[in-house]
Structure 1
Amino acid sequence: MYTLDTRGPVQDQIRALPPDAVPEFDRLREALESAPWDGDPYLADKPDSPMRTRPFGTSGLATYLILEDQRRVDLLLVQWA
């Protein structure tokens, strides 16, 4: 298991999610705590990079950084279109 860090500006992005996105975000949170490497590389030319993206729901995208040595995932950006 990984610890998910949502401190900083990303807190405002999470709070701004529409109500129907909250259950989808909760599922994303569980996925990031158990299997963060399943996300897509942030940069296609660096497939092993610890910076990843992962879609959630119908219109969400999360960008995050995996700190493997600490078993921590830093959530950097949450977007909902």
Structure 2
Amino acid sequence: MYQLTLDPVAEDQITAVPKEALRPLAELFTLLETAPWSGQPYNPANPKANMLTHAFGERGLATYMVLEEQREVYLIRVEWP
């Protein structure tokens, strides 16, 4: 299991997502704590990098880093256009 840590910017972005995004976002958090490598590479040219993105809900996108040695997922940004 991985510890999920939120960047302060991500925390602010989470407070701004609409109500319908909260449940899919919570489900994503659970997934990131158990299977963080399930996301897509942030940079497709470097597919083995530890910076990833993961879609959630109908339009959401989370950007995060997997810090394997610390067993931590650091959530950088949450977007809901």
TM-score scaled by structure 2?
0.97
Aligned length: 81
Alignment of 1:1-80 (within 5 A): 1-80=1-80
TM-score scaled by structure 1?
0.97
Given residue 50 of structure 2, which amino acid in structure 1 is its aligned partner? P
The Cα shift of 1:7 comes to 3.7
Percent identity, aligned pairs only, is 44
Counterparts of 2:54 and 2:10, CA distance in 1: 15
Counterparts of 2:61 and 2:7, CA distance in 1: 17
CA RMSD of aligned residues (A): 0.6
Query: Which 4+ runs in 1 deviate beyond 6 A?
Result: none
